[in-house]
Amino acid sequence: MTPKNIPNRERLIFAMDVADPQAARQLVEQLGDAVVFYKLGLELFMSGGYFELLDWMVARGKKIFVDLKFFDVPATVAAAVRQLRNRGVTFATIHGNQAIMEAAAAAKGDVKILAVTVLTSLDRGDLDDLGFTVDVEKLVLSRARRALEAGCDGVVSSGLEAPMLREFIDHRLLVVTPGIRPVENKPVDDQKRTVDVAQAFANGADYIVVGRPIRDAADPRAAAEAIQQTIAQSFAGARA
C-alpha cells in the first residue's frame, strides 16, 4: 500500500457529476463531513457557475479536483492551468503528449497536475479502435513514466494497473483511481476496468474517485460513510 501520509478521509474523492451548481450545493450539504474531497468535471463546467461553486466549496473547507482534462496546444494548456492557481484547487487533470504535460507542470504553481493514462471506460477493443496496438498495461506504464519525467505530480489510472505502477515507478507518483465499484460491478454503466475500494488501496492507489455508487444511493451520506469505514479498515490493517 502507499506509504504517503494522506489523511484517510481525504482519500475518498466524490465525483460531483450532477446537472447544475444548485444540485451540487445540495449534495455537499447532504454529505456533510462524510466527504472532504470533490471532483468537479465537464458536466458542471458546461452548466455555468463552475468557479462560483468551486469558491463556495473551498470556503467550506472542501478540497477540489478540477477534472477538465486539458488537451490543446501546450501554450493554451499552460494558460488554462495558470487560471487555477491560488484559488484552493488541489488537483487538475491534463491529457496529451510530452510537450503538453511539460507545459502544464511548468505552469502549475500550487496545483498538483495529474496526467490521464488510459480512461477506465476503455478496454482492449476500444484501444484497437483508436489505433493503439500496445497492451493497456504497457500504455499506462509508458504514459506514467513520461508524466513523472515531465514534472507532473501523478496520474489517473485504473486500480488494475496500480500494482504495476508501484513496481516500476517510485512512490513520488500520486495514483488516483476512478472506476471504483464498492460491490461487484455489473456491466450496466460505462466503466470497464474497475476494482473495489479495498483492492484499489491494496494495489497501491493513493486516492479513489467514486461517483454513482454514492450519488445514486438511497442515502448518499451513508454510502460515503461506508466507503470511509472501508478505507479506515484498509489502512488500519496495513499498519497492524
The catalytically annotated residue of 4, 39, 62, 69 is 69
Q: Which residues contact 131 (CB under 8 A, 6 or more apart)?
A: none
Q: Are 120 and 190 in contact (CB under 8 A)?
A: no
Closest CA to 211 of 90, 121, 139: 121
Furthest CA-CA distance within the chain: 48
Q: Which residues contact 115 (CB under 8 A, 6 or more apart)?
A: 93, 94, 95, 101, 143, 144, 146, 147, 150, 152, 154, 155, 156
4 is catalytic: no
Cα dist from 45 to 36, 71, 86, 112, 132, whole Å: 20, 15, 19, 19, 30
Tell the residue number behind the cell numbers 458542471, with chain if given: 44
Catalytic residue list: 69
